[in-house]
A and B are shown apart, each in its own frame.
Chain A
Amino acid sequence: MKAGSNLEKVLESGRFAVTAEAGPPKGTSAAVVQKKAETLRNACDAVNITDNQTAIVRMCSLAGCVIVKQQGVEPVMQMVVRDRNRIAIQSDVLGAIALGIRNILCLTGDHQKFGNHPSARGVYDIDSIQLIQTLKRMRDEKKFINGEDISGEVPLFIGAAENPFADPFEFRVIRLAKKIEAGADFIQTQAVYDVPKFKRWMEMVTERGLDKKTHILAGIIPIRAVGMARYMRDNVPGISLPNELVTRMEQATSGKEEGLKIALETIEQMKEIPGVHGIHIMAVGWEDIVPTLVERVKLLPRPVL
């Protein structure tokens, strides 16, 4: 075991993992985070706490993770390279470990232009692949980037994201291989709507044997309403949402029901794809749906290891 986290145990035991995502508030209330943790408690193996997602200022991921952990729910700390240089990153990692956080997900982060402080200076001192490398070196060699020694243990289960739907398509697998080589123990993908494209990508992944070197969790974002489907199709860079899903949402009597159905079908398909080791549900602002979703795809109860 690298970190002994619950997520690591579930994945290493060969079980199909379930993670979910929760966004901290644009404010100071711990209760908001606690409530989300309660909702997700029995429905997943770990909860990702986002890091100023879409470059909108929110409570920091580290604090969110600690609050979730105090509730007895395992956090995955998301960390973007947009806002911190290597000094701040390594310092945050030490602090996170001291506070009992074991899973860290390494991300580039959405460009600051998209957020609520578009005039901010982007940091990008190191990139997401270099962040993975940094965490691996901190864990395996107990060394900082500069080669100096870290005191104490550095148990970490290192995650990364990958978007099979971004371009150039053939390069996405090479990039995944680089992330694995850098040290990614698990991968959470961008939301899957275009299942055939995802399958093609997974074939390339398994051909290279990459599924044996990391754990791939397929991303799921349940659609709540037809407007959301259209917005994601047209405005979210790197999401591929086929027109037929928009049509399905348009024709449905209940958007929520149809969205749930689409998510259920997608998860069932993910369970069948060779090399997929779990799902990552990003029902941001609709966390309530997660227990229902996980129950209906027969992934409950979650294992206690």
Chain B
Amino acid sequence: MKAITGQKPFEEIAQLLGKCENVYIVGCGTCATMCHTGGKAEVLKMKEQLESTGKKVTGWMVIPTPCDTLTEDALKEDTEAIKAASCLLVMACAFGVQTVALYTDKAVYPALNTLFIGQEEAPGRFYEACLQCGNCVLGLTAGICPLVRCAKGLLNGPCGGSVGGKCEVSPETPCAWQLIIDRLKEQGQLEKLEKITPIRDWSTSLSGGPRRTTVKS
């Protein structure tokens, strides 16, 4: 599982930082390093860019996995420099941003957009694999998620725009339902799709409100 990120335009970052003149930068040694959005190289480039606009970068660090609780200890290692900053700019996925925010009272700003949870299909090429809907249908769809891979999230697809294996939204996007049908056909299970998939319960998704769970020990 990888959180795929993209860097926000620098103007947006500058706007977020606003009057915050002293900035501390946090990078991510895992997903954002792999995406080239928040590794050491990108953090240093950001430092340079901020300095060229007159900001002061009081320090920086690349936390191995800013999304876990060890972040607290990591931040303690550079207390002085963080103290000298009036805000933190986090070059990690939104999960990392929120974790950093748990362990500091200072304003925390994201430098990245978290795009999706990605599956690598070729080196450096990712597609969205799951949106955590809370009610998984992969068992009916040959392991291919129709909610994120079909542009309309259809459960009884394909729509009338599926042509030559491609989705109507773009010639670069495979039609999820063509993939599902091909796969089920190979497995001799196409008849699975003859049954109508009933209306789903979206309350398990974000539509049901913020989600929380307690893992039983």
Q: Which of A's residues lie within 8 Å of B, judged by CB?
A: 82, 86, 108, 110-111, 113-114, 122, 124-130, 133-134, 145, 161-163, 166-168, 171, 174-175, 177-178, 181-182, 190, 237-238
| Category for how many chain B residues contact A | 20 to 34
Select A167's contact among B151, B155, B169, B178, beta carbons within 8 Å. Answer: B178
Does the CB pair A130–B152 fall under 8 Å?
A: no
Indicate whether B189 reaches chain A with its CB closer than 8 angstroms.
no
Does the CB pair A161–B193 fall under 8 Å?
A: no
Q: Which residues on the A side are within 8 Å of B161 (C-beta)?
A: 110-111, 163, 166, 237-238
Indicate whether B160 reaches chain A with its CB closer than 8 angstroms.
yes
Q: Which residues on the A side are within 8 Å of B190 (C-beta)?
A: 174
**Docked pose: A128 CA to B159 CA in angstroms:** 9
Q: Which residues on the A side are within 8 Å of B134 (C-beta)?
A: none
A-B interface, 7 closest residue pairs, ranked by CB to CB distance from nearest: A163-B160, A237-B168, A237-B161, A129-B156, A238-B160, A127-B154, A166-B160
Does the CB pair A145–B181 fall under 8 Å?
A: no
Q: Which residues on the A side are within 8 Å of B163 (C-beta)?
A: 166-167, 237-238
| Given known A-B contacts A82-B152, A130-B156, A111 and B199 have beta carbons under 8 A apart | no
Interface string of B168-206 (1 = CB under 8 A from A): 110000010010011000000010011011110010000
Does the CB pair B169–A113 fall under 8 Å?
A: yes
**Please, could you name 14 A-B residue pairs with CB atoms under 8 Å apart, sorted by A?**
A108-B154, A111-B168, A111-B169, A124-B152, A126-B199, A127-B154, A127-B156, A128-B159, A133-B196, A161-B160, A166-B161, A174-B190, A237-B161, A238-B163
Main secondary structure of the interface of B (DSSP, over half): loop
**Docked pose: A178 CA to B198 CA in angstroms:** 12
Indicate whether B162 reaches chain A with its CB closer than 8 angstroms.
yes
Task: Report the minimum CB–CB distance from B82 to chain A (whole Å).
Answer: 37
Select B165's contact among A133, A163, A167, beta carbons within 8 Å. Answer: A167
Does the CB pair B178–A127 fall under 8 Å?
A: no
Q: Which residues on the B side are within 8 Å of A167 (C-beta)?
A: 158, 162-165, 175, 178
Q: A167-B158, A237-B161 are in contact. List 6 more A-B contacts (CB 8 A).
A: A124-B152, A127-B155, A167-B178, A171-B181, A174-B193, A177-B194
Select A124's contact among B153, B169, B193, beta carbons within 8 Å. Answer: B153
Does the CB pair B178–A168 fall under 8 Å?
A: yes
Indicate whether B157 reaches chain A with its CB closer than 8 angstroms.
yes
Does the CB pair B181–A190 fall under 8 Å?
A: no
Closest residue to B171 on the A side, CB-wise?
A237
**Docked pose: A133 CA to B155 CA in angstroms:** 13
| Given known A-B contacts A111-B168, A166-B160, A237-B163, A129 and B202 have beta carbons under 8 A apart | no
**Docked pose: A125 CA to B201 CA in angstroms:** 9
Does the CB pair A130–B155 fall under 8 Å?
A: yes
Task: Report the minimum CB–CB distance from B34 to chain A (whole Å).
Answer: 29
Q: Which residues on the A side are within 8 Å of B153 (C-beta)?
A: 122, 124, 127
